[in-house]
C-alpha cells in the first residue's frame, strides 16, 4: 500500500470526486492559481480549469452563501475556509440556511455542500485563528461533522462527504497536513469510508482512550508509553465523525475495558467529550469501574506562546497523567 501525506490524501479524494461527478466544484480563497493556502488543492486548477476550481473574493459570507445557493440547484460545492475560525463571518448561512433547508422544505431541497479547512490550535497563530468548533456545529441538527486523524481516513471520509446530500463540515488540522500514512491505491477500488463509523486504532483491555482528530495521534503515543512503562493496555478509539456519532463503538469499548479517558482539543465546557461522557453515563454506568475522565484544552483563549499553547492543548504527557489517576 502506498504512503501519502494527509494533504495528498485529501487532494486525491477531491480529485477523484471531480472526475466522478461533473457537478463537484472547489471554491475558496486562493484554491486555484495559488494552489491553496496549505497546498491541499495543488495542481487541481491546472487539471480542471476555472469552472471547476474557483478562486473567490475574501468574503466567507459571500462564497459560502453562493455555494449554498448553488447546491440547491444541483451543484456540489467543496468550499475551503483558510481557518475554521472564520466560520463566524458566515454563521447565519451555515446554521440558519445550510443546516435547515432540507427540514424547512419538507425534504424537497438538499444542500450537498462540504465546508473544509483547518480547525485546530497548536500553531501559534493567536486566539482569533485557533478555534476548534466541531462541538459547536454538532449541536445543530442538519449538519454533519467530520474530523479525520490519518491520511487514509482523510481521503475516505472526504469522498463520502462530497457524495452526501447534507452539509458536511470537514475539520482538518494544519499540524497533520504533512504527516504520512498508508492509503489504498485507486487501482484497488473506490475507497470510501462511511460517515458515522468509528475506528479502533489500537486494541487494549485495561482502559479506553476515545478521541478524534489530532488527539488520536496523542492517544496512540500515550498508549505506547502506558504499555511500556506501566503495563497498562489501552483501546484507542478514533471517532472519525462527530455527527453522526458511532455510539455503539464507544459503548463496546467501555464495556470491554470498564475505564475511559476522553481526549478532546475543544474546551471542557460543552465540548464533544462532554457529550460522549453523558452517553457513557446514560448507557454504560454499570460497566464503569472508575469515574469518566477527560483531557481537553485548558479553558482560555488560545495562547500565542508555542511553549504554553502546547500545554494548553491535550498532549501525550497530560493523557498519561490522567490515565494514571484511574488505572
Query: What are the residue ranges spanned by the domains of the chain?
Result: 2-188, 199-324
Under 8 Å between Cβ of 168 and 117: no
Distance (Å) of CA 46 to CA 29, 35, 50, 177: 16, 9, 9, 22
Quick one: average pLDDT of 212-236? 98
CATH superfamily of 2-188: Thiamin diphosphate (ThDP)-binding fold, Pyr/PP domains (3.40.50.970)
Q: Which of 87, 129, 131, 212 is catalytic?
A: 129
Give the closest residue to 136 by CA, choosing from 150, 119, 155, 156.
119
Quick one: average pLDDT of 200-210? 98
Prior bond of 244 cis (ω within 30°):
yes
For residue 221, indicate whether it is catalytic.
no
Q: Work out the pLDDT band at 274, boundaries 50, 70, 90.
A: very high
Q: Let me know how long the chain is.
A: 327
pLDDT on residue 215: 98
Half-sphere exposure (Cβ direction) of 169: Cα atoms closer than 13 Å? 30
Residue 224 has pLDDT above 90, yes or no: yes
Q: Which of 60, 134, 172, 265 is catalytic?
A: 60
Average pLDDT, the chain: 97
pLDDT on residue 1: 81
Quick one: average pLDDT of 279-302? 97
Percentage of the chain modeled with pLDDT above 90: 99
Asked, colleague to colleague, whether 2-188 and 199-324 share their fold, the answer is: yes
Range 199-324 classified under CATH 2.40.50.100: no
Quick one: average pLDDT of 23-32? 97
Residue 173 sits at the vertex; the CA angle it makes with 82 and 17, to the nearest 5 degrees, is 75
In tens, the pLDDT along 66-120 reads: 999 999 999 999 999 999 999 999 999 999 999 999 999 999 999 999 999 999 9
In tens, the pLDDT along 135-176 reads: 999 999 999 999 999 999 999 999 999 999 999 999 999 999
**Phi and psi (nearest 5°) for 180?**
-120, 160
Give the closest residue to 260 by CA, choosing from 289, 217, 240, 239.
289
For residue 230, indicate whether it is catalytic.
no
Hey, what's the cell of 191?
475507497
In angstroms, the CA 276 to CA 93 distance is 28
pLDDT on residue 327: 87
Q: Work out the pLDDT band at 127, boundaries 50, 70, 90.
A: very high
Instruction: Answer yes or no: pTM beyond 0.75.
Output: yes
Amino acid at each position: 500500500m502506498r504512503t501519502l501525506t494527509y494533504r495528498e490524501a485529501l487532494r486525491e479524494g477531491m480529485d477523484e470526486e471531480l472526475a466522478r461527478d461533473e457537478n463537484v466544484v472547489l471554491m475558496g480563497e486562493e484554491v486555484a492559481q495559488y494552489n491553496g493556502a496549505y497546498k491541499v488543492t495543488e495542481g487541481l486548477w491546472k487539471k480542471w480549469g476555472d469552472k471547476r476550481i474557483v478562486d473567490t473574493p475574501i468574503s466567507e459570507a459571500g462564497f459560502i452563501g453562493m455555494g449554498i445557493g448553488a447546491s440547491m440547484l444541483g451543484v456540489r460545492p467543496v468550499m475551503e475556509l483558510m481557518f475554521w475560525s472564520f466560520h463566524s463571518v458566515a454563521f447565519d448561512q451555515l446554521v440558519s440556511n445550510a443546516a435547515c433547508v432540507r427540514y424547512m422544505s419538507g425534504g424537497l431541497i438538499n444542500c450537498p455542500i462540504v465546508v473544509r479547512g483547518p480547525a485546530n490550535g497548536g500553531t501559534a497563530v493567536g486566539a482569533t485563528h485557533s478555534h476548534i468548533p466541531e462541538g459547536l456545529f454538532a449541536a445543530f441538527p442538519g449538519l454533519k461533522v467530520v474530523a479525520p486523524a490519518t491520511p487514509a481516513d482523510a481521503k475516505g471520509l472526504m469522498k463520502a462527504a462530497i457524495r452526501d446530500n447534507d452539509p458536511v463540515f470537514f475539520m482538518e488540522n494544519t499540524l497533520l497536513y504533512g504527516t504520512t500514512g498508508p492509503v489504498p491505491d485507486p487501482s484497488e477500488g473506490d475507497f470510501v469510508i462511511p460517515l458515522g463509523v468509528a475506528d479502533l486504532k489500537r486494541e487494549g483491555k485495561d482502559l479506553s482512550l476515545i478521541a478524534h482528530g489530532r488527539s488520536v495521534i496523542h492517544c496512540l503515543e500515550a498508549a505506547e508509553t502506558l504499555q511500556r512503562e506501566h503495563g497498562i493496555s489501552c483501546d484507542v478509539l478514533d471517532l472519525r465523525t462527530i455527527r453522526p456519532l458511532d455510539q455503539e463503538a464507544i459503548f463496546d469499548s467501555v464495556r470491554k475495558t470498564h475505564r475511559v479517558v476522553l481526549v478532546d482539543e475543544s474546551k471542557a465546557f460543552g465540548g464533544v467529550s462532554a457529550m460522549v461522557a453523558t452517553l457513557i453515563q446514560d448507557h454504560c454506568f454499570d460497566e464503569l469501574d472508575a469515574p469518566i475522565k477527560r483531557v481537553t484544552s485548558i479553558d482560555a483563549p488560545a495562547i500565542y506562546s508555542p511553549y504554553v499553547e502546547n500545554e494548553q492543548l491535550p498532549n501525550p504527557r497530560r493523557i498519561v497523567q490522567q490515565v494514571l489517576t484511574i488505572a
